[in-house]
Amino acid sequence: MLLEKILQSQGFGSRKYCQQLIKNGSVIIDGEVVSDLKKQFSPENFEFSVFGQNYQYREKIYIALRKPQGFECSHQPQHHQSVFSLLPETMIHRGVQAV
């Protein structure tokens, strides 16, 4: 799988933005800066670093969150702030849904 697709699936942004991350040397794999956009990687047990923060590839993520009072479980809240505002931006980009 292309690195840009892996980064996009993990919530780092659009494929174009992920390509920029790679070109700018912001992605490190096995201690090496990766700048080859065509290099393929297996997502199984895949670990990487973006802006110095370590990540491990996860096909799916599950979050247990106790909704605080005064928040709505909606991406388009009407009366209160959204619970999604409590999450890191990468999780929001992954399309997290409340159940």
CATH of the domain at 13: 3.10.290.10
Does the pTM of the predicted model rise above 0.75? Answer: yes
**Residues linked to residue 81 through DSSP beta bridges, in sequence order:** 71
Q: Are residues 68 and 91 in the same domain?
A: yes
Q: Are residues 44 and 74 in the same domain?
A: no
User: What whole-number distance in Å separates Cα of residue 76 and Cα of residue 25?
Assistant: 35
Q: Are residues 50 and 92 in the same domain?
A: no
pLDDT digits (tens, 9 = 90+) for 4-54: 999 999 999 999 999 999 999 999 999 999 999 999 999 999 999 999 999
> What number is the average pLDDT over the span 48-61?
93
- Higher-pLDDT residue of 8 and 61 is 8
